[in-house]
Amino acid sequence: MDLMTDQIFAEDYQKEKYNARHVKELADAWDPAKCDPLKVGYENGKYYVFCGQHRRAAAIIANNGNPIKLPCIVFYGTTYADRARMFAEEDDLKYNTTPRQKYNALYLAGDEEMNGICTAIERSGYTCAFSRQGGDVDCTVLARNIYRKHGSEFLTELFTVIYDAWGKQKKATTSNIVKGMAFFLERYGRTYISESDRIVYKSDIMVKGLKRLSPEIILDRAKATIDRSLRADHIGWDYAVCLELVKAYNAVCTGRGSANRLDSRIMLNEAS
């Protein structure tokens, strides 16, 4: 089915993906014969594109700003949520859709998992990059994997400790810091360990220890551990960052507080 471009509308879940440079490149090399059909949904008398917004924009530019007829595949009976999900499910490699763009579309479609991840993160004080422009936490795939493995309370606790220690400092929520904190909580968190004789960390001590350092220092020391280790093929960023977190924690467990010190051998045994 052919439709005029002024009959086709874009929706807000695509704003995250819109690339003006890509549109210009398409317009400069525009060939109507090579234009793949746009995928559009039909609802209440209107057509909404969920695959092809760049082709639509490029065609208009190539036609001197005037509407132009384009081939379309029409999906009838769709809702906004349906179209957002179909947008998120389009071929990542062909259409260069990033995880954040996909998750943003699913979030706007009311996806239960994406809303759960966003809520868990925002309870900590951070904002989620896929739910709002300029959000603090951008390691979207990692956050989803942690959420799927441990649930919302774990994810909230993880980001709350980081936020209370470092706030919105640069690199505070980078993927390697988040990996290391997840690794730490899996071994020392109050509800995630099974051994009764294992000391459970205290969040206030962790925050106090981390406030004496910066995310950059933790990452630099972790990298040095990986670089100099003879077991480098067995030690990843999660282990190396966790080791620095344990050191930071134990550094403030002095005097009467020494009973709260954590045993790093637990981490070593479980990483081997």
Using a 10 angstrom Cβ sphere, with 0-12 exposed, 13-18 middle and 19 or more buried, the burial of residue 26 is: buried
Residue with tokens 């004496």: 212
Judged by DSSP in three states, 11 sits in coil
Contact indicator for 101, 107 with CB cutoff of 8 Å: no
Q: Which of the two residues, 191 and 127, has the higher pLDDT score?
A: 127
- Please report, rounded to a whole number, the percentage of residues in the chain having pLDDT higher than 70: 89
**Mean predicted confidence (pLDDT) in 19-24:** 86
Examine the pLDDT at 21 and tell me if it is beyond 90.
no
Q: Which of the two residues, 181 and 99, has the higher pLDDT score?
A: 181
Residue with tokens 């709002």: 132
**Mean predicted confidence (pLDDT) in 102-114:** 88
The closest of 70, 61, 53 to 10, measured between CA atoms, is 53
pLDDT band at 131 (very low <50, low <70, confident <90, very high): confident
Residue 217, H or E segment: helix 215-228
Lowest-confidence segment of 66-70, 77-81, 262-266 by average pLDDT: 262-266
When the pLDDT of each residue in the chain is averaged and rounded to a whole number, the result is 87
- From CA 19, how far away is CA 22, in angstroms rounded? 5
- The confidence score (pLDDT) of residue 272 equals 44
Write down the pTM of the prediction. Answer: 0.76
Tokens of 23: 């549109």
pLDDT band at 215 (very low <50, low <70, confident <90, very high): very high
pLDDT band at 88 (very low <50, low <70, confident <90, very high): confident
Q: Which of the two residues, 158 and 25, has the higher pLDDT score?
A: 158
Tokens of 164: 């209370």
Examine the pLDDT at 228 and tell me if it is beyond 90.
no
- The confidence score (pLDDT) of residue 93 equals 46
Residue with tokens 């060939």: 31
- The confidence score (pLDDT) of residue 95 equals 59
Contact indicator for 35, 71 with CB cutoff of 8 Å: yes
CA atoms within 13 A on the CB side of 13: 25
CA atoms within 13 A on the CB side of 105: 25
In sequence order, the 6+-apart residues with CB closer than 8 A to the CB of 84 are 11, 13, 50, 105, 106, 108, 109
- From CA 198, how far away is CA 195, in angstroms rounded? 6
pLDDT in tens, 25-77: 899 999 988 889 999 999 999 999 999 889 999 999 999 999 999 999 999 99
